[in-house]
Every structure is written in structure tokens, then in C-alpha cells.
């Protein structure tokens, strides 16, 4: 290696469902380039983002801390608790120069030397489609070339937005996974989406007028992933052309998954179902990490920063809750963490407990989907979580609640702060009084409103 410390090329892909990647067994060929590249590295089969959506997910990822350690559970939170450094700040202390693309303004996006942006939300071209990944490439590839000329090791973070709605991949990708009838008037399945007041106008603003088939929209999500995958290949090819593969750790991961037509959550990323909690985690460092390794067993986003630092050979005296995955890569034992605490706080405020067999979800205020206060799913018998069995299994609910509340109490004592899920509310600093109030109060609007909200979030 030409550098004492390796570079870090970080693909942070928003809303990427692990189970919609062909690399993880999805039947549609959505990620052939990532998969081919991953053959030279390590794939973790069961990585979870336990605190959703974006802001807490990245906070865990970039600090190595859980939600108690970051004090972040809500999308709107602007700061991580004082004294907790993020990865860019840690690496800066070790002599790294850093660039952040598309993530300015987020709580985890601080500490970079350079910030660059790109058009990464709605339609941005005369074809009416969203060229998100190519727009990112137009910024990232020149920046990679610039960083390659520096003497210091670099950290280049890229936030890809293609799997985030609106799903508007350009041709030829937009139709590669769907050639059926998207406008069959006898198909009524999309009507409940349009009738859902909080999201209906937003989804209707980018789904083709008259679309009745949710399978078409799901195919558009898959097309956006495939388009992004092809664009990512350009960056990987540039890395190789610059002769940097042996000097650079490459990571692919996501802040959370995506609800498509699942659980009545309608093409978003709320609901603590596994479609939202499961994320990819892939590492490659040519001639330094094993090739073709797939590691089973659970890990979490809080393990990302400790793992990267360990692989880089960087020692830091920080109280991580996450733990390095390097022992597993080396074939050594690592104590498992098969059950864990989960939270969400954007459209619904809930927390819960997940084990290999059970998923408990407890609402802390009424939600706009009018879902029951307590949900329980048997993940062995019902892996898609379609059958709430809380009423049939009250003893299981109580056991899981006991474990969850004991964990909360333990972490509150350790941090000296209340659980952040208890101090963040969805409406004016108070809980919603009813599901109807939540339903009437939450509204995205059209795609222009969503673009505006995204821009405000970056300020």
C-alpha cells in the first residue's frame, strides 16, 4: 500500500431494501454490478437498522452508538448528543481529508472538509424522470479524481437517493421489470393508496395518472435500484482506473429499508416491519479482506463504525455500543446479539423488541394508520408479519415487554437520560390524542412539497 492508512469510499444508499437486491437473492436482477464487486469482499447477511428512519439510522451508523448513546430517534432531530463524535470527525483526527456528497445538514453529516450536492429528489430532466445517480456521479467522479491526488488518506461519503420515492429511473431502466397492464380499471388495489390523505396526493404526483396496479410501482422501485447499480459501476471503475483499489475500503449500506405495498404503509419507510429494518452491509478491500465471504447472523448499523476503524487499524478510546465485525471476518467468535430494541419516530411513534422468533411493536401515541396499540408477529411462522397475534399470545407480549423495559431502564441508568423515544413527539411537543387527529394532521402534499421539505431538512 502506498498510504499508511486506507481510504474509505462509503456508499450510503437511502431506502435500499436488502431483500430487493439480487445480491441477497431477489429474483429480479437489480444489483448485478454491486454483486459482482461484492464477490471480491464480505457480505453480511442479516444487518438491521433498529432505529428508523434516516436521521437515527445514520446516527447509529456513523457513531457506533445506539439510540440512547446518540439521543436520536426522530427524523427532525438536528443534533447528536454533545460529546459523541461522528466518523468524519474521528477520521479527521487521524489525518484524513473528507468529502460529503448529498448529506449536508443531517446530524451525522458534520465534520467533513468539503460538502457537495446534487439534484437528488424529484424529476430533474426534460424526460420527466429522476437522474439521481448520474447527477451524483457528475459530482463524485471529479471529486474522487481530486482526492486521489492528495497525500492524505481520504473519506468520500456519497448518499444515493434512487431507492427513495419518487421512483423515477430513466429509460431504458424504467420498464425493465414491468410489461403488464398498469392501468386496468378493474384493478382497484391502488385506490386505497390514493385515498390515504397523508400520502395520496404525493404518490399521485409521480405515479402515472390512472395507474391502478401497485406491481407497476414496485417495479419502478426495482428499476431505480438497477439504474443506481449501473451508475455505481462508473464510480467503481474509476476507483480501479485510478489504481486505488488496494488502498481503499469500499462499503455499501443503507439507513433503512422501504415499505412498498406492505402493511398499508404505501411506498415509504415507516412501520417497524422487517422490510424497513433490514439493510445491506457489504465490505471490500482488495487483497486485504477475504473474497466471496458471506457471514450469517445478526449485526446492526451501530457496528459499522467500530468495524471500519478496526479494519483500518485505528484505535480510539470511545465508548461504542456497537462492536467490530472483524472477528467474524477472521473466523473468530463474536458474542451474538440476537434480540434488540427498535424504534421509529416520524409518521408514527413506536418502539418494540425483536428476537429471532418474535417481533413486538408498542405504540406510544395513536398512529395515522389506525393500527392497534400492540402488535406481535411470529417471525418463524409469519416472516412477512401479516398476522398480528398479540391477543392470542398475551404471555409472549408480557415477556417481551419485560425484556424491553428492563433494557430501557438499564440504558437510561447508564446514560443518565430518559429514553429519547419518550421525549420526542409527532405534533407540537405532545402526543396525538387519537388516530383521527394524526390522520388529519399529517400531510405531505405533492412532489414539489416533498422537494421543499427535503431542502429544508438540509439547512
pLDDT by residue, tens only, the chain of 459 residues: 345 799 999 999 999 999 999 999 999 999 999 999 999 999 999 999 999 999 999 999 999 999 999 999 999 999 999 999 999 999 999 999 999 999 998 999 999 999 999 988 788 778 989 999 999 999 999 999 999 999 999 999 999 999 999 999 999 999 999 999 999 999 999 999 999 999 999 999 999 999 999 999 999 999 999 999 999 999 999 999 999 999 999 999 999 999 999 999 999 999 999 999 999 999 999 999 999 999 999 999 999 999 999 999 999 999 999 999 999 999 999 998 999 999 999 999 999 999 999 999 999 999 999 999 999 999 999 999 999 999 999 999 999 999 999 999 999 999 999 999 999 999 888 999 999 999 999 988 776 666 665 555 555
Q: Is residue 43 part of a domain?
A: yes
Neighbouring residues of 75: CB distance < 8 A, sequence distance ≥ 6:
53, 54, 55, 56, 345, 346, 457
**Do residues 191 and 273 both lie within one domain?**
yes
Which of 313, 337, 361 is a domain's end point?
A: 337
CATH of the domain at 35: 3.40.720.10
Q: Which helix (H) or strand (E) holds 43?
A: strand 42-48
Q: Do 309 and 406 fall within a single domain? A: no
Tell me the H-state helices in 82-177.
87-93, 132-148
Q: Please check whether residue 309 lies inside any domain of the structure.
A: yes
H helices of 357-444, in order, are 394-415, 435-441
For Cα atoms 255, 256, 261, give the angle at the middle one, nearest 5 degrees: 150
132 and 223 assigned to the same domain: yes
What's the domain count of the chain?
Answer: 2
Residues with Cβ < 8 Å from 386, sequence gap 6 or more? Answer: none
Q: Are residues 320 and 352 in the same domain?
A: no
State whether 321 and 358 are in the same domain.
Answer: no
Q: Please give the backbone phi and psi of residue 147, each rounded to the nearest 5 degrees, phi first.
A: -65, -35
Same domain, 330 and 358: no
| Same domain membership, residue 289 and residue 371 | no
Asked whether residue 104 is assigned to any structural domain, the reply reads yes
In a domain, 342, yes or no: no
> Same domain for 370 and 301?
no
Query: What is the residue range of 361's domain?
Result: 348-441
Residues 61 and 108 sit within 8 Å (Cβ to Cβ)? yes
**Domain assignment present for 454:** no
**Considering the domain boundaries, does residue 422 fall inside one?**
yes
Phi first, then psi, for residue 59 (nearest 5°) are: -60, -45
CA separation for the pair 32, 41 (Å, rounded)? 15
Amino acid at each position: 500500500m502506498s498510504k499508511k492508512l486506507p481510504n474509505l469510499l462509503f456508499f450510503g444508499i437511502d431506502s435500499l431494501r436488502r431483500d430487493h437486491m439480487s445480491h441477497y437473492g431477489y429474483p429480479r436482477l437489480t444489483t448485478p454490478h454491486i454483486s459482482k464487486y461484492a464477490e471480491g469482499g464480505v457480505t453480511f447477511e442479516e444487518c438491521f437498522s433498529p432505529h428508523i428512519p434516516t436521521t437515527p439510522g445514520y446516527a447509529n451508523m456513523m457513531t457506533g452508538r445506539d439510540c440512547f448513546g446518540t439521543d436520536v430517534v426522530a427524523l427532525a432531530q438536528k443534533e447528536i448528543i454533545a460529546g459523541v463524535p461522528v466518523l468524519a470527525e474521528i477520521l479527521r483526527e487521524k489525518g484524513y481529508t473528507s468529502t460529503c456528497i448529498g448529506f449536508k445538514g443531517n446530524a451525522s453529516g458534520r465534520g467533513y472538509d468539503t460538502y457537495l450536492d446534487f439534484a437528488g429528489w424529484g424529476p430533474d430532466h426534460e424526460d420527466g424522470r429522476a437522474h439521481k445517480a448520474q447527477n451524483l456521479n457528475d459530482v463524485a467522479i471529479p471529486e474522487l479524481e481530486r482526492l486521489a491526488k492528495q497525500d492524505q488518506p481520504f473519506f468520500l461519503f456519497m448518499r444515493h437517493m434512487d431507492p427513495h420515492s419518487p421512483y423515477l429511473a430513466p429509460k431504458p431502466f424504467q420498464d425493465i421489470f414491468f410489461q403488464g397492464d398498469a392501468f386496468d380499471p378493474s384493478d382497484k388495489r391502488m385506490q386505497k393508496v390514493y385515498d390515504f390523505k397523508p400520502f395520496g396526493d404525493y404518490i399521485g404526483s409521480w405515479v402515472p395518472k390512472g395507474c391502478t396496479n401497485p406491481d407497476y410501482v414496485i417495479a419502478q422501485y426495482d428499476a431505480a435500484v438497477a439504474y443506481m447499480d449501473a451508475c455505481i459501476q462508473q464510480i467503481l471503475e474509476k476507483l480501479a482506473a485510478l489504481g486505488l483499489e488496494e488502498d481503499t475500503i469500499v462499503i455499501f449500506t443503507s439507513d433503512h429499508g422501504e415499505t412498498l405495498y406492505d402493511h398499508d404503509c404505501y411506498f415509504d419507510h415507516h412501520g417497524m416491519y422487517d422490510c424497513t429494518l433490514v439493510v445491506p452491509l457489504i465490505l471490500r478491500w482488495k487483497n486485504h479482506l477475504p473474497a466471496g465471504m458471506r457471514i450469517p447472523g445478526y449485526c446492526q448499523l451501530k457496528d459499522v463504525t467500530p468495524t471500519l476503524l478496526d479494519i483500518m487499524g485505528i484505535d480510539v478510546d470511545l465508548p461504542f455500543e456497537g462492536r467490530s465485525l472483524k472477528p467474524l471476518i477472521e473466523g473468530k467468535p463474536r458474542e451474538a446479539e440476537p434480540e434488540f430494541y427498535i424504534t421509529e419516530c416520524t409518521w408514527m411513534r413506536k418502539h418494540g423488541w425483536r428476537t429471532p422468533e418474535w417481533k413486538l411493536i408498542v405504540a406510544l401515541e395513536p398512529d395515522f394508520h389506525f393500527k392497534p396499540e400492540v402488535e406481535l408477529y411470529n417471525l418463524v411462522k409469519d416472516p412477512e408479519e401479516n398476522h398480528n397475534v398479540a391477543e392470542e399470545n398475551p404471555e409472549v407480549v408480557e415477556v417481551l415487554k419485560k425484556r424491553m423495559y428492563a433494557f430501557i431502564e438499564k440504558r437510561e441508568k447508564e446514560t443518565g437520560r430518559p429514553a429519547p423515544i419518550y421525549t420526542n413527539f409527532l405534533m407540537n411537543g405532545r402526543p396525538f390524542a387519537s388516530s383521527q387527529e394524526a390522520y388529519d394532521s399529517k400531510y405531505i402534499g405533492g412532489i414539489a412539497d416533498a422537494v421543499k421539505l427535503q431542502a429544508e431538512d438540509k439547512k
